[in-house]
Amino acid sequence: MTAAHAIALAARQPPEGAAIIVAMATFVDAAAAILSSDGKLSGPVLVHYRRTKAFRRAYPSKKPTAPQQRAINAFRYVDLRWQLLPRWQRALWNHRGVSRRVFGYNLYQRVNIPRRLEGLTLLQEPPIILPPPRG
């Protein structure tokens, strides 16, 4: 502790420059609260990187390309179909996923999104995939 800090503590006044630090901290915290609603305020975006708050320019939003939009739509469709599956069919997918060390939902997506993109019908039950022959 420096002598200035000791004198300031004794006088119960903050040391010189402390008000600026407090004001800056308050500004950053207030900006974080304002920016946290949608991430934008007049252009800058608040970014958390390795426990540090920083501001950067907002990236311009771009519409997805046609292939990206097809993939997004296929994912949405397959996700909706998963939600509509009866419990017993979900249990089949989950059971088959255990042997492959993957969740049933992920296996369902992995199998059916390419099928949807190719225009094929979705599989309601998990496929039986035999391991390759040994030898």
* Helices then strands, each counted (H, E), the chain: 5, 2
**φ/ψ of residue 42, rounded to 5:** 55, 35
pLDDT of residue 79: 95
**Which pLDDT band holds residue 131 (cuts at 50, 70, 90)?**
low
pLDDT of residue 67: 93
pLDDT of residue 112: 94
Highest mean pLDDT among 48-52, 85-89, 125-129: 85-89
Torsion sign (Cα): 64, 70, 75, 80: positive
Lowest mean pLDDT among 4-8, 34-38, 97-101: 34-38
**Which pLDDT band holds residue 23 (cuts at 50, 70, 90)?**
very low
For 43-71, how does the pLDDT look when each residue is reduced to its tens digit (9 = 90+)?
A: 666 777 777 777 777 677 789 999 999 99
Q: pTM score, two decimals?
A: 0.54
**Which pLDDT band holds residue 78 (cuts at 50, 70, 90)?**
very high
Which H or E run contains 44?
strand 44-49
**Which pLDDT band holds residue 22 (cuts at 50, 70, 90)?**
very low
